[in-house]
Amino acid sequence: MHSCVEKVMHTVFWISGLAIILFLGGILFSLLANSFPALRELGLAPFFTTGTWNPGAYGEPGYSLINMIKGTFMVTAGALVVAVPLGIAAAAYLSEVAGPRERELFKPVVEVLAGIPSVVLGFIGLVVLAPLIARVFKLSSGINALNGAILVGIMALPTIITLAEDAITAVPREYRHASLALGATRWQTIWKVTVPAAFSGLMAAVMLGMGRAIGETMTVLMVTGNMLAAPASFLDSVRTLSANIAIEIGDVAFHSLHFHALFVVGLVLFAITFAVNLLADILIHRKPGVRT
């Protein structure tokens, strides 16, 4: 009976893994198939040369993604600056310091934060954060990359906190006991033993948070301004790759050059996400040793 259950579960897991591979393959095939007409007519170079994105312009349409790629990475980098320190610190506190009652209080807060719709956070960014940024930096408008980075960082926090807490909790208790026995303080044990030992799980948490930031659409659509000009700082308006697809896909003619160019945008976004996951895998397998 036990052997039969194992065979069934093995089959279920194998089918699930195969289904995921097929889904990803289908997504990639769809992106390539719909991008090919634009790449065949324009080539790859126009998408990565200096200029602006303006496929509907008369005369010389522009297809450059450079400014949008820069805007995407600005929002993502700013979000990680906000989310990674707070997320790992909160995870370390919940797993190593907080008592049972504190965990019962804070865990639902994290879950509620994860359940807030992105459009609600975008609205908060418009009516609360944007005026605050404008006052602090003496700007005419707070609708910029900084606004988007802060909000996307908040959105990435639940993912990072949950996965990082699991990773820290999974570190064997013997590591902590050995560190304390050698005379290390509780603080030194957390940041020099426990957290480095959980490096693989923490990197997975950070990369998943980064994936959330790269792919976020509605919030950045509402609070970053969506200007196509090259941003010079976080106080400038930006447009991200995902926001550009959301803005234009509803008005473009099907099977037009503009339509297929939007699939090139999606293909670039897919490639960036793949590169992030590949980098995560490389970093995870180069895990440093525990330092005491």
Place of tokens 């064997």: 172
The pLDDT value given to residue 160: 92
252 part of a folded domain:
yes
> Quick one: residue 143, left, alpha or beta (phi over 0 = left, psi -120 to 50 = alpha)?
beta
The pLDDT value given to residue 242: 93
Q: How many angstroms separate the CA atoms of 200 and 281, rounded?
A: 9
129 part of a folded domain:
yes
- Full domain range(s) for residue 115: 62-284
Domain CATH number, residue 185: 1.10.3720.10
Question: Measuring CA to CA, which residue among 169, 175, 200, 199 is closest to residue 189?
Answer: 175
10 part of a folded domain:
no
Residues in the chain, total: 292
Question: What are the tens digits of pLDDT across the range 209-245?
Answer: 888 889 889 999 999 999 998 899 999 999 999 999 9
77 part of a folded domain:
yes
265 part of a folded domain:
yes
174 part of a folded domain:
yes
DSSP string, 217-230: -HHHHHHSB---SP
Query: Considering its fold, how many domains does the chain have in total?
Result: 1
37 part of a folded domain:
no
159 part of a folded domain:
yes
Q: How many angstroms separate the CA atoms of 240 and 145, rounded?
A: 10
Q: List, in order, residues 6 or more apart from 153 with CB less than 8 Å away.
A: 78, 79, 80, 81, 82, 83, 86, 213
Question: What are the tens digits of pLDDT across the range 2-47?
Answer: 678 788 888 888 898 899 889 989 999 999 999 999 999 999 999 9
